[in-house]
């Protein structure tokens, strides 16, 4: 496998823009495969040959793939570089298949269990402290700066390393971010909970605060008791419906 400098780099910007739509053609047969093929197409359109190599590469790029959408670019860049380096087709397919699990697990830890709840918790703290819409706008800006930066890093790293893309997953910055995301999320969430509870309870006075505390305690107990069947989302929707009905009857 070639370890030389990359060939003339194609337009990563076009591939990045297409990566935002990688789930637009999601289906149960190929999962994100069609979107991956569309995203990789700008990187492999200049493959040598009479078009046969290009068409075969596009077909491979559109095969089954399933990973975290923010990190799909790592596979797109790596397989495109492997195609340019002349890696045998069966090895390109194995490379894509091998990346599904690691990219899915890494994205879940780094984004869904780290960055998203971290920035959401900061936004909740801001709302509880009276920032209102500014906190929500701040969340949208900060979260998307992080998520776009992750997409761009993944695409560039994939193209740079090609078949040696496992090296990118061991980069110190990525390892530190993964290690720190969960503790940071826990810290922010722990700080947000009492502030949000105090903010939400500020409209209650006297006996209504005691009633609110009883409902909250009962809700936690019910969620624990029926944890196999009752989820927080379902319980929240039931409470919302009851609150709506109670407000309508009150007026």
**Of 79, 74, 73, nearest to 58 (Cα)?**
79
CA 79 vs. chain centroid, Å, equals 21
**Of 100, 56, 94, nearest to 74 (Cα)?**
100
150 and 246 co-located in one domain: no
Does 73 reside within a domain? yes
More confident residue, 78 or 47: 78
209 and 97 co-located in one domain: no
More confident residue, 121 or 202: 121
Q: How many domains does the chain have?
A: 2
238 and 167 co-located in one domain: no
Instruction: Please tell me whether residue 65 adopts helix, strand or coil conformation.
Output: strand
Q: Which residues of 25-62 are buried (b: 16+ CB within 10 A; e: fewer)?
A: beeeebbbbbbbbbbbbbbbeebeeeeeebebbbebbb
Task: Tell me the CA distances in angstroms from 201 to 55, 143, 213, 239, one per residue in order.
Answer: 61, 28, 9, 16
Is this structure's pTM higher than 0.95?
no
Identify the pLDDT of residue 117. 93
Does 2 reside within a domain? no
Does 197 reside within a domain? no
142 and 238 co-located in one domain: no
Identify the pLDDT of residue 3. 47
To the nearest 10 degrees (0 to 180), the angle between helices 33-44 and 72-84 is 40
**Of 92, 68, 39, nearest to 150 (Cα)?**
68
The rounded mean pLDDT for the chain is: 88
């Amino acid at each position: 496998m070639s370890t030389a400098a990359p060939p003339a780099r194609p337009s990563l910007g076009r591939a990045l823009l297409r990566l935002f739509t990688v789930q637009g053609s999601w289906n149960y047969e190929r999962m994100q495969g069609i979107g991956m093929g569309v995203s990789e197409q700008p990187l492999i359109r200049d493959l040598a040959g009479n078009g046969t190599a290009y068409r075969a590469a596009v077909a491979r790029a559109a095969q089954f793939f399933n990973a975290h959408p923010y990190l799909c670019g790592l596979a797109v860049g790596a397989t495109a570089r492997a195609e340019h380096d002349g890696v045998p087709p069966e090895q390109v397919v194995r490379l894509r298949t091998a990346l599904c699990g690691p990219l899915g697990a890494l994205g879940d830890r780094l984004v869904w269990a780290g960055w998203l709840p971290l920035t959401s918790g900061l936004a909740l703290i801001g709302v509880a402290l009276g920032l209102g819409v500014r906190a929500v706008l701040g969340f949208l800006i900060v979260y998307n700066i992080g998520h776009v930066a992750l997409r761009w890093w993944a695409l560039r790293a994939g193209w740079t390393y090609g078949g040696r893309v496992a090296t990118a997953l061991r980069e110190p910055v990525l390892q530190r971010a993964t290690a720190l995301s969960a503790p940071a999320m826990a810290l922010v969430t722990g700080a947000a909970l009492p502030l949000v509870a105090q903010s939400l309870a500020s409209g209650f006075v006297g006996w209504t605060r005691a009633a609110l505390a009883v409902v909250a305690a009962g809700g936690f107990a019910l969620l624990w008791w029926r944890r196999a069947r009752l989820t927080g989302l379902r319980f929240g929707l039931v409470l919302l419906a009851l609150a709506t009905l109670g407000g309508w009857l009150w007026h």
